[in-house]
Amino acid sequence: MTIRCRALLALLSLPLAAPLAWADGYNYPTEGRVEYVLSCMDDNGHDFANVYKCSCVIDKMAASLPYDEFVDQATFSKYATLGGEGGAEFRVDQAKAQTKKFRALQATAYQACGLGPDKTPTAAK
């Protein structure tokens, strides 16, 4: 079994204890959380500790940002450096503001969850 499969299985077992943690924040769909954790692990390594660290990051973000805003801000952040005409809509002032808010929230969550400033998300560099 690959590390990615084991990480996914471990992540899917978390919702048994997690609903109490989500009660004070926004409830993100499981697919959105899993997608974020796997992407975070792509950026930080596929070791077992990062399952928990990356899960912590998405939990911190979910505590302070509604899911629809998370999707918008994450999209702006992901495509902020897209060149050409196709990326023009991601370089307007509103998109830049959304990108800045997302990256600041993400950096704070990374630091709080033990990924630290040396592990800043790739998209934020």
Tell me the per-residue pLDDT of 28-81, one tens digit each, with 9 for 90 and over. 999 999 999 999 999 999 999 999 999 999 999 999 999 999 999 999 888 887
Closest residue by Cα to residue 90 from 101, 79, 104, 74: 79
Residue, of 84 and 112, whose pLDDT is higher: 112
Give the pLDDT mean for 10-35: 66
Residue 46 token pair: 């596929």
Mean pLDDT of the chain, nearest integer: 80
Domain ranges of the chain: 3-120
